[in-house]
Structure 1
Amino acid sequence: MSLTGTPFLLTAIALVVLALALPLALWTKVRGPGLVRQAARLVMLLFAQATAIVMVFVLVNNANGLFDTWGDLLGTGDHVKAAADLGPDGTGGKSLAEEPKVRQPFRPASDARMGPGVQETQLKGRVSGVEGEVYVWLPPQYDDPAYKDRKFPVVEVLPGFPGSAKAWFGTLEVNTQLKPMMEKGEIAPFIVVAPRTTLLGDVDTGCANVPGKVNADTWLSVDVRKMVVDTFRASDKPEGWAVAGYSAGAHCAARLAVAHPDRYRAGVGLSGYNDPGAESASLTAKTPELRDANNPLKMLQHAATPPHVALFLSGAKGDGYEGGLAVKQAAKPPTTVQVVQVPDGAGGHGTAVWKRQVPDVFRWLTQQLKAG
């Protein structure tokens, strides 16, 4: 039974009702010696407490998109089939233009809470050695005959850690919010892509390549990107691609955009951080070398050539704002950085805050990206 599906939610509700009904029906009817009666009543109380805890977990998990599968919850999920050393650019020396097309079959998303129009597929990354689900939402203009020869800009969206690829659609309602804005012409028609980012159970990969462990960077910036370009009418130019994330996903988005201006023209980080050491479970915090190599602030400070990329970084004081200011101070043209302060009392580090920022983020992205 799926951890996030409706059947599991209904099962949890039924168990709570049963746990409440049992003591009411049986409390005074338990027979046997005193010790047996007390033990039976204790079991009923513990059962009630356990079902209440499960119910709270289900509601919180569904509301925040934390764990997608039982493997994610238990830390046993492993989506890495190989982790070869792919070199500085993460391609392993391959010319992606010469690689076979990756035209992936899609089906309607199985989780109805993600809203209408979301499609899903299971992708085997040919270069990264990662396998996982990818969700795609197409703009309302995609099937409009007037746009039949148009290639659309793409925004790759990343959750926090722990986090589900579904969260941008289910919790932040990005598709529900953006569709009317696109229909009114308030923002550009974007393809929105949400790939799996939890790849090694209870370890945060930092969306980086660590030979022998995981090639998360290549999964996101090479395999997923190529599949989207080959399967849909999506721009294949860097000025047609952006990456956005919240919390740990914000760190990933800034890092990926700074590392690959040849693949992304813009990066959006909501309540993120620069130093991977801010996330104790991060694989990229294991050594000083990895921390520095995957810190977007230090990447900008040490870049031989400033990357041609635009960054939108937001956060409250003590929750991403100061880090954003540091990145802005370190940036040199053609790198541009916009820092937005989330007001105190706006909701803290949570999905409600990030959901409210979605319209402004995509208005900004409309100014940064171009159609193919």
Structure 2
Amino acid sequence: MGLTSDKVLALAVSSAVGLFVGTVWLWPRLARRGLRAVGGRVGLLLSTQLALFAAVGLGANQAFGFYASWADLFGQEDEVGVVVDHTPARGPLRVVDTRRVPGAASARPQVGGQIQKVGIVGRTTRIATPAYVYLPPEYFQPQFRTRTFPAAVVLTGYPGTAEALVDKLDYPRTAGRLAAGGRMQPMILVMMRPTVAPPRDTECVDIPGGPQTESFFAKDLPDAVSGHYRVGSEPGDWGIIGDSTGGYCALKLAMHHPRTYAAGAGLSAYYKAPIDATTGDLFHGDEELRNRANLWWYLEHMPAPDTSLLVSSSKVGESNYKDTLKFIERVKATKLTRISSVILESGGHNFNTWRREIPGTLEWMSGRLSG
């Protein structure tokens, strides 16, 4: 049974409840002196607490999608095993599976759209990574067969799972609903993790002697997707969205590469790449690279990028609230870069908050990309 299985959660909850009832039932018999009685009390309390901890942990993981599998939980990355064709003649993108859009009214792509699981290999960076591509219903309809569509890259946080963008954050279903209601134009979504060299958190940086992650997202990814799907390749055709680490990446990529990404939305983003045990040494003493990864420094020392940015936070529950207000003012001072925001009264750094922000973000993104 998988880590996110309802059966596993039900078993954990049942075990916790059973141990609690057993503890209450057996406690009078163990309320005496002696090693056996004391050991029994300790064993029951410890077992009950462990079962309760497991049930709460599994429930939180199902709600927020921290880990997708047991291997992911214990640091054994199994997603890397996705079959990817490295033969240049086959192209940098290969479809490995198709699936129905969750909650769609029909399994027919012309009606409900389609999600394709793909493997992508960067032509210049040689980074290989899986992704999910959402194709709207219009993509399959005969009257639109010659039309190109705008596209948005959608990034998770760290560690995150690309599946959570589909199943937990409901990006495809939300995009389909908004487009059907005329609130946004049909768009292709490329959903993936920013962690393209797992388990390392590269913070979308071109690491000296390491993964060239920024180049992958700025050049290789749009080229691969545009070469396989009917996506526009002109400035204004691409946007990028992310939450947490993915939000920082989205803002940085839109600022660094405005001719690739006409708009970047950072939900619960931070504004400077951290250095910790998950990232390792990102810059290897390269002060210019370190500065460019600091969005505060970039706004102060580099020419203002001709792009549109969106940031989000909450007055209560988000640690980035004050920094986000300061970032808005810094961007407004550039006069060229455009800034928008979603500020909630309250909301934590979690899926529930981002689900509240995603509809508005998709509408905003749609209005800033070419049709």
- For the aligned pair, the TM-score class normalised by the smaller chain equals 0.7 to 0.9
1:248 aligns with 2:245: yes
Q: CA deviation at 1:351?
A: 2.5
SS of the residue 1:48 aligns to: helix
* Residues 1:189 and 2:186 are matched in the alignment: yes
Structure 2 contact 92–121 (Cα < 8 Å) conserved: no
Cα drift, residue 241 of structure 1: 0.5
Q: What letter matches 1:105 in structure 2?
A: V
SS in structure 2 of the partner of residue 362 of structure 1: helix
AA at the equivalent of 1:325: I
Establish whether residue 260 from structure 1 lines up as the match of residue 263 from structure 2.
Answer: no
Aligned residue pair count: 347
Correspondence for 2:339: 338
Partner Cα separation in structure 2 for residue 287 and residue 3 of structure 1: 40
In 1, the alpha carbon distance for the partners of 2:36 and 2:119 equals 52
Contact 1:153 1:241 in 2 (8 A): yes
Q: 1:120 to 1:349 in 2, by over 3 A?
A: same
Cα offset for 1:243?
0.5
Identity of aligned residues (%): 28
State how 1:101-112 maps to structure 2 within 5 Å.
Answer: 101-108=91-98
SS across alignment from 2:248: helix
Q: Which runs of 5+ in 1 are unaligned?
A: 82-97
Counterpart in the other structure of 2:233: 236
Runs of 4+ in 1 over 6 A off after TM superposition: 78-81, 110-116
Question: Given the two structures, how large is their TM-score scaled by the length of structure 1?
Answer: 0.79
SS of residue matched to 2:139: coil
Give yes or no for contact 1:71–1:201 (8 Å, CA) kept in 2.
no
- 2:290 — aligned with what? 291
Q: Which residue of 2 aligns with 1:302?
A: 301
Tell me, yes or no, if the aligned pair for 1:297 and 1:326 is still in contact at 8 Å. no
Q: Deviations over 1:53-82 (max 9, x none)?
A: 22222221222222234454344549899x
Structure 2 CA distance for partners of 1:269 and 1:287, relative to 1, 3 Å: farther
CA RMSD across the alignment: 3.6
Residues 93-116 of structure 1, C-alpha deviations (whole Å, 9 max, x = no match): xxxxx9973341241359969997
Superposed, which structure 2 residues align to 1:1-372 within 5 Å? 2-4=2-4, 6=5, 9-21=6-18, 24=21, 35-36=35-36, 38-39=38-39, 42-75=42-75, 77=77, 101-108=91-98, 117-199=114-196, 203-277=200-274, 281-283=278-280, 284=282, 289=287, 290-303=289-302, 305-316=303-314, 318-319=320-321, 320-333=323-336, 336-340=337-341, 342-344=343-345, 346-371=346-371
**Where in structure 2 are there 5+ consecutive unaligned residues?**
82-87, 106-111
Where relative contact order (Cα < 8 A, 6+ residues apart) is larger, the structure is 1
Structure 1 window deviating more from structure 2 (220-229 vs 282-291): it is 282-291
Distance 2:121 2:259 in 1: 23
Contact kept in structure 2, 1:114 and 1:170, CA below 8 Å = no
User: SS in structure 1 opposite 2:162?
Assistant: coil
For the residues of structure 2 that align with 1:2 and 1:216, how far apart are their CA atoms?
A: 31
Structure 1 pair 202–134 and aligned structure 2 pair: CA distance change class (3 A): closer
SS at match of 1:331: coil
Relative to structure 1, the CA distance from residue 51 to residue 225 in structure 2 (aligned partners, 3 Å threshold; closer, same or farther) is farther
- TM (norm. structure 2) is 0.79
* DSSP 3-state at the match of 1:17: helix
Partner letter of residue 178 of structure 2? M
The 3 A distance-change label for structure 1 pair 42 and 67 is: same
